[in-house]
Amino acid sequence: MRPVPGCGRHFRGASTCPSLVLSHRNRLRLPLNTREQRTEQLGFALIAEATDLGVSAREMSPFERPSLSPWLRRPDAYDAIVWSHVDRAVRSVAHMSELIEWGQQHATTLVFGMPEEHQPLVVTPQAHGDAVRRCMDLAYAAEQESRALSARLTGAHAVLRATGRYGGGLVPFG
């Protein structure tokens, strides 16, 4: 075994840091080989993927998700966790704070893809100041977006019910 530069751990035959790639969408956007390529471009080797389909990042902490939580209990198995975007990880400032603190305690790098920017947001265990502030700002924006969407949908359904219109799903016979 040899140390991987910048990883701080030893891995057999590894030339890049091992990472866990995460997603939690109703469907996955990228084919696996593309996710592997993007992960390798960041200097990480894809070792596993945790996918929590149908799980709300707004309502559930990363530490409570069925597919992700077992990995978070095994932080020695990888050096980084890579998400396609911040809102795939969390939609709450409290959850982001909890995740950053966990990353610092367990010497795990958190990587958030930033599609609107061509550089991912990388939060190392030593990160302070700008990177953490940027994460918190993005988590706040995701939280506000989630609340606005929920309020808009709740209002739309209330209007449909008030006007006697059908809101979708199975046709209500009876």
Cβ atoms of residues 84 and 32 within 8 Å: no
Instruction: pLDDT band for 10, please (50, 70, 90 cuts).
Output: very low
User: Could you report the per-residue pLDDT of 88-141, keeping only the tens digit for each?
Assistant: 888 899 999 999 999 999 999 898 887 677 788 889 888 888 989 998 998 999
Non-local (6+) Cβ contacts of 133 within 8 A are none
Cβ atoms of residues 23 and 85 within 8 Å: no
On the question of pLDDT at 15 being above 60, the answer is: no
Q: The pTM is what?
A: 0.72
Does 52 reside within a domain?
yes
Cβ atoms of residues 43 and 17 within 8 Å: yes
DSSP string, 133-164: HHHHHHHHHHHHHHHHHHHHHHHHHHHHHHTT
Q: Provide φ and ψ at 44, rounded to 5°.
A: -120, 155
Does 172 reside within a domain?
no
Does 91 reside within a domain?
yes
Considering only residues 20 and 160, tell me which one the structure prediction assigns the higher pLDDT.
160
User: Could you report the per-residue pLDDT of 160-171, keeping only the tens digit for each?
Assistant: 888 888 777 777
> Which CATH number characterizes residue 133's domain?
3.40.50.1390
User: Could you report the per-residue pLDDT of 22-60, keeping only the tens digit for each?
Assistant: 543 333 444 455 667 777 777 777 888 888 888 888 888
Picking from 139, 9, 11, 133, the residue whose alpha carbon sits closest to that of residue 1 is 11
Instruction: pLDDT band for 17, please (50, 70, 90 cuts).
Output: low
Q: What local confidence, expressed as pLDDT, does residue 172 receive? A: 67
Helix (H/G/I), strand (E/B), else coil: 111: strand
Domain around 129: 2-155
Q: What local confidence, expressed as pLDDT, does residue 6 receive? A: 42
Question: How many structural domains compose the chain?
Answer: 1
